[in-house]
Amino acid sequence: MAMKFGLFGINLGPCANPQIAASVAKAAEVAGFGSLWTGEHVVLTDPQLPPSPAPPLTPFLDPAVALGFLAAHTKSIRLGTGIIILPQRNPVVLAKQLASLDVLCAGRLIFGIGIGYLKPEFEAIGVPFDRKGPRAEEFLKAIISLWTMDKPEFRGKFVSFGGINAMPRPVQKPHPEIVFGGHTSEAFSRAARLAKGWYGFALDLEGAKKCVEGLRAACNNAGRRFEELEVSITPRGPIDLAEAGRFAALGVHRLILFERAADQAGLMSFIAKAERELIGKL
């Protein structure tokens, strides 16, 4: 299987500018990237406090809004949320937003999910920080109910509904592919039980190896073949073809590259280099 390549950060930094985002997305599609990925932080701590990943003035466009815009500027490249912090969201509203996005992009959405790790974000939004994992799993089940049931109904601890409907449904059937992120045993379990894929962010080879071992164990516990799970990783720092090959040897299927360029020129140069040196070479 050929290594897939994605591009991370299409909704943040320089790509918070719509003209730059559209130009970068088009260039990535032409270069052979298979997917574009957003990050998510509704708010950032001010001042920045560990483990917050970015300074407070870093612009983050909403993932669904950004990908809806880019759907109109691209034709075939897949559009991934990498990730949406699901416990912070109303699942009924999010189901509508993402179904609408899948319609707008003609079935190119990848629904990447995380549970979050920054307590100040949850406090600002007004949702509890505890029991993030169980809420995320239940919210996902509720969303899939809205996407797939003729008469959607769901009864859970955190969300319940019935006697409703919500159109449109996603273009992809039975629903857009699900990817869980996170580097914990619980995250590996969610990917093995509930998702098509797993996404690990900012990992070197040793970190990726440990995560793949955790995913293998989680798949074994879930009664699932590891080979059925698509593994995506954003490498920590730049990589060359040899390094990409070492990730592939670990069982990684997709490398989602992240260039922390300050402007459009830097991003375009990075895309051109990836096209020359990486894409289609593995």
Residue 269 maps to which CATH number? 3.20.20.30
Residue 33 lies in a domain: yes
**Residue 160 burial class via C-beta count within 10 angstroms: exposed 0-12, middle 13-18, buried 19 and up:** exposed
The verdict on residue 108 lying in a domain is yes
Decide if 12 is inside a domain: yes
Q: What is the DSSP-derived secondary structure letter of residue 168? A: P
Per residue in 152-207, pLDDT (tens digit) is: 999 999 999 999 999 999 999 999 999 999 999 999 999 999 999 999 999 999 99
Q: For the segment 96-105, what is each residue's pLDDT rounded down to a tens digit?
A: 999 999 999 9
The count of domains in the chain is 1
Asked if the structure places residue 282 within a domain, the reply is no
DSSP output for 170-220: PSSSS--EEEEE-SSHHHHHHHHHH-SEEEEEEE-HHHHHHHHHHHHHHHH
Look up residue 37 and give its amino acid. Answer: W
pLDDT at 182: 96
- CA dist 68 and 32 (Å) reads 20
CA distance 29 to 62: 21
Would you say 3 and 282 are in contact if contact means Cβ atoms under 8 Å apart?
yes
Distance CA 141, CA 164 (A): 16
pLDDT for 31-87, tens place per residue? 999 999 999 999 999 999 889 999 999 999 999 999 999 999 999 999 999 999 999
Domain interval for residue 14: 4-277
Closest among 34, 25, 42, 131 to 84, alpha carbons compared: 42
Whether 244 is covered by a domain: the verdict is: yes
Answering whether pTM is above 0.95, one says yes
Give yes or no for a contact between 203 and 233, defined as CB atoms under 8 angstroms apart.
Answer: yes
Kindly give, in sequence order, each residue whose CB lies less than 8 Å from that of residue 234, ignoring residues fewer than 6 positions away: 8, 199, 200, 201, 202, 203, 255, 256, 257, 258
Q: Report yes or no on 35 lying in a domain.
A: yes
Looking at the domain assignment, is residue 126 inside a domain? Answer: yes
The pair phi, psi for residue 208, each rounded to 5°, is -65, -40
**Residue 258 maps to a domain:** yes
Q: How many CA atoms lie within 13 A of 113 on its CB side?
A: 33
